[in-house]
Amino acid sequence: MVDLKRDARPKAVLNNIYKHTKLQTTFPANFVALVGGVPYTLSLKQILVEYIKHRQEVITRRTLFELADAKRRAHILEGLKIALDNLDEVIKTIRQSRTQDEAKINLISKFKFSGIQATAILDMQLRRLAALEREKIEKEYQELKKIIDSLIAILKNPEKILQIIIDELTKIKEKFGDNRRTKIYKREIEELSEEDLVPKKKTLITVTHTGYVKRVPVTTYKSQARGGKGVTGMTIKEEDEIEHLISATTHDTILFFTNQGKVYGTKAWDIPETTRQGRGQAVVNIIDINQDEKIMSILPMRNSAKHLIIATAAGAVKKTSIKEFQSMRSSGLIAIRLEGKDQLVSVHETTGDDNILVITKKGKTICFPEANVRPMGRATTGMKGIKLSLGDEVIGMEVFSKNKPKSNDKRRKIFRDILTISENGVGKRTPIHLFPVQKRAGSGVKIAVVSPKTGDLATEIILDEKVDQVVITSKNGQIIKLPIKNIPQMGRSTQGVILMRFTNKNDKVAAVAALKKEIEDSEAN
């Protein structure tokens, strides 16, 4: 166990341990074996071929031994049958002999018995003269003939020997087998990368308030009706709470943006996969984050994006080319330079011609074109996105195309909604077209009615026809998965309906993530 100082960086310490100790090491494997008495370096296929040859030889020799043993016994039974058929003459011959050796010679000369048969007759017990015992001898002889025929058939047909190998290995697998711990790829070794060894699959990634991160398969959570209590999403400490939840693939690069305006990156498969109730691993063991930094936004980096746009709690926005985030350092990069006590809140990808929607906790929002925000470098402060009232702050930001989506399939309903959820689990969907596009830095319009019943807005997310369900988490770890068809569409000046009830009255909504239909379909297949 290694105890770290308060200001130590666990990732850096672990890397040094890997480098300077044998905590993690490699060793060569020399696949040299004797083949026909000659040493050879064998490939995996050659090892399997030689093993099969060995098993063929073992089964052939075993079959020959069993055949010889069966023929020997059948030969004895043939002699016993002849003796029982001529019982009186056999007994008379034995009684007229002076010694056992003389009796053996007389039996051989008179009845043409072999030495083995004659010995077996002389050793036969009197009880075997009974009628039932004679039937047993006949039955045993007939069974031995069948065994002899089957053994001869095995020796004549190599395919049967291979089938015996398969059957015996199958029995061994059923008795001793466990899940495969290695993966075999049909390609050259030098072509393999670490990513090649990780299966590409959809996953959910969560981060808690105290900095625990984990990923779980999308199929972990079953869909429920609106207003349910959901299930326990993870085992967390009493003072902990879930703050971030996204869907991604295991091959995605996950960007972690902190309250201090820095960004760190890691592959999704580097994040430990756990059970639904598992706490996960401290994020400081995944990325080299400072002790006083807090994860504010997580984002899977896609190749289709051109820019990243960042929003802060004080209402500032900033757009930066995504290329500036592709070369990630272990110590992180500056994503935005913050002023005073301002904090980073949300980050999204953009195409260069999108609309931006900024949402505040008091139920206000502003929609403006992305073109109103000029591109800047990473280490800049940005510009004002929304004018805030006293006590208000930004809780989220969404990005959507300014072009109205179209579909060639008339049966498919096209829509774009903003799902807003308050602290007390009240939520609704509001169509995007209800929000007027205006200039940046205005006060905006109402997105939801906020009251003591609903509490302040806690989280939001954009939905379209590709989204099938949403996953809502509470600060105490409750999770519920809802079909979006169960969430009603409402106007801007409404509160919404109850989407989630809490087992703990003091619990609050923490985060929401959207699950696309193709995610569900691919997992089901």
- The residue among 308, 284, 286 whose CA lies nearest residue 297 is 308
**CA proximity to 479, closest of 277, 295, 279:** 277
Higher-scoring residue by pLDDT: 292, 520: 292
Q: How confident is the model at residue 434 (pLDDT cuts 50, 70, 90)?
A: very high
In a shared domain, residues 139 and 240: no
Quick one: CA torsion of 163, 167, 169, 172, rounded to 10 degrees? Answer: -170
Cα distance between residue 48 and residue 408, in whole Å: 54
* Averaged pLDDT, 11-27: 74
283 vs 408, more confident: 283
Q: Based on the fold, state whether residues 261 and 134 are members of the same structural domain.
A: no
Judged by DSSP in three states, 3 sits in: coil
pLDDT score recorded for residue 326: 82
28 lies in some domain: no
Structure tokens at 430: 């509001």
Last residue of a domain, one of 141, 175, 209: 175
> Who contacts 218 (Cβ-Cβ below 8 Å, separation ≥6)?
202, 203, 204, 247, 515, 519, 520, 523
Residue 193: the pLDDT is 56
Question: Are 423 and 318 in a shared domain?
Answer: yes
Cα dihedral: 188, 191, 195, 200 (round 10): -60
Check which CATH number belongs to the domain holding 121 and give it.
1.10.268.10
In this structure, the answer to whether residues 328 and 443 fall within a common structural domain is yes
CA 465-317-295 angle, to 5 degrees, is: 80
Q: Are residues 227 and 360 in the same domain?
A: yes
Is residue 248 domain-shared with residue 379, that is, in the same domain?
Answer: yes
pLDDT of residue 226: 52
CA-to-CA distance for 359 and 254, rounded, in angstroms? 24
CATH code at 322?
A: 2.120.10.90
Q: What share of the chain is helix, strand, coil (3-state, %, to 5)?
A: 30, 30, 40
Looking at residue 216, its pLDDT comes to 85
Write the pLDDT tens digit of every residue in 366-392.
Answer: 999 999 999 999 889 999 999 999 999
Q: What is the DSSP string of 355-370?
A: EEEEEETTSEEEEEEG
On the question of pLDDT at 463 being above 60, the answer is yes
Residues 168 and 205 in one domain: no
Q: Is residue 61 in some structural domain?
A: yes
Q: Which of 87-91, 218-222, 418-422, 480-484 has the lowest mean pLDDT?
A: 218-222
The better pLDDT of the pair 515, 522 is held by 515
Question: What is the per-residue pLDDT for 186?
Answer: 54
Q: Residue 135: its pLDDT value, please? A: 86
Decide which of 198 and 455 is more confident. Answer: 455
Are 136 and 245 found together in one domain? no
Give the separation between CA 320 and CA 441, rounded to whole angstroms: 19
Considering the domain architecture, whether residues 277 and 234 belong to the same structural domain is answered as yes
Q: Is the same domain home to 465 and 366?
A: yes
Q: Which domain holds residue 444?
A: 200-403+412-524
User: What confidence score (pLDDT) does residue 191 get?
Assistant: 45
Place of tokens 């290995």: 169
Q: Do 162 and 101 lie in a common domain?
A: yes
Give the count of domains, the chain: 2
Asked, for residue 192, whether it belongs to a domain, the answer is no
pLDDT number for residue 150? 94
Q: With H, G, I as helix, E, B as strand and everything else as coil, classify residue 219.
A: helix
Tell me the residue type at 296.
M
Cα 376 to Cα 320: distance, rounded to the nearest angstrom: 5
Q: 207 and 151, same structural domain?
A: no
